[in-house]
Structure 1
Amino acid sequence: MIELDNRTLIKINTDTVDAIVDSLTKKDIELIITNSHEMREINKTHRNIDKDTDVLSFPYEDMPMSPLGSIVISSFYVEEKAKEFGHTIDDEFVLLFIHGLLHLLGYDHEVDNGEMREKEAQLIKKFNLPQSLIVRTEG
């Protein structure tokens, strides 16, 4: 189950996100949608990186009954990347959510041998999403 905390005016349909979560985990997930200012503060506080970003993931300690973690998504990036890549806001939101969810599940594109990118590609195909996430993370 997703616990949504939308701190912005952006309207998101979470049906696809719910289906993706159901296909990968039985644990609850906190999902926060915020603006670029708050995203920058979160990134600075928790990662010591003083800039905004598109998506952040914070896994919780794995204990019985505990949620999987929190995913924070920037509404600014959702809107900007949707325009840039020519697809809907909902599609862009789902693409960023997939990226964050895979991090919560233990995937890490910075150190793996392409496993995270492969899992993203599988989910993008399964849920009929735009390929732009794969294209922009191949560089």
Structure 2
Amino acid sequence: MIDLDNQTDLEIDISYLETIVNDLVSKDIELILTKNDEIQKLNKEHRNIDKATDVLSFPLEFDMPNMPLGSIVISIDFVKEKAKEFNHSFDDELKLLFIHGLLHLIGFDHEVDNGEHRKKEEELIKKYSLPNSLIVRNS
């Protein structure tokens, strides 16, 4: 299940994100949808990078029964911008960023692995019938 904290004025249907979660994990996920200024604050506070980013993941440091897996924060400003830039839908971009963040929560890390994160993303892009342009973009 996804616990949604929508800090924007957009109405977002997350039912398709629930399907992705249920296919990959049995734990709940917190999803925070925000704007660039808020995600920039989080990025600076937690990664010491003073700029906005598209998605951040915060896995819980311990595994306890009935506790969520962690939190995914997505900037809606980035979703809109990248959907327009790459000529695909808002929903497809949101799915891609959600998948990216969810993979971080379950242990993938493109910054240190040997391409496993990207490979799993490509597999999920195909599985959920997302545009192939998303694969090219992530390669």
Normalising by structure 2, report the TM-score. 0.95
What is the total number of aligned residue pairs between the two structures? 138
In structure 1, the residue matched to 2:12 is 12
Q: Letter of the 2:120 partner, please give it.
A: K
Taking the aligned partners of 2:54 and 2:90, their CA distance within structure 1 comes to 13
Where does the alignment leave 5 or more consecutive residues of structure 1 unmatched? Answer: none
Q: CA deviation at 1:10?
A: 2.5
> Which runs of structure 1 show a deviation greater than 6 angstroms over 4 or more consecutive aligned residues?
none
Supply the distance in 1 between the matched residues of 2:98 and 2:80 (Cα, whole angstroms): 14
List aligned pairs for 1:53-72, cutoff 5 A: 53-60=53-60, 61-72=62-73
1:11 and 1:84 map into 2 onto residues whose CA distance is: 22
CA RMSD of aligned residues (A): 1.0
Where do 1:124-139 residues align within 5 Å?
Answer: 124-138=125-139
* Equivalence map 1:30-109=2 (5 Å): 30-60=30-60, 61-109=62-110
* CA distance, structure 2, for counterparts of residue 111 and residue 36 of structure 1: 26
* SS of 1:71 mapped into structure 2: strand
In structure 2, what is the Cα distance between the partners aligned to 1:89 and 1:12? Answer: 10
- Aligned equivalents of 1:129 and 1:112: distance in 2? 24
Identity of aligned residues (%): 64
Report SS of the residue matched to 1:32. strand
Conserved 8 A contact 1:28-1:68: yes
- 1:37 counterpart letter in structure 2: D
1:114 is the counterpart of 2:127: no
Query: Closer, same or farther in 2 for the Cα pair 1:62/1:132, shift >3 Å?
Result: farther
Cα drift, residue 25 of structure 1: 0.4
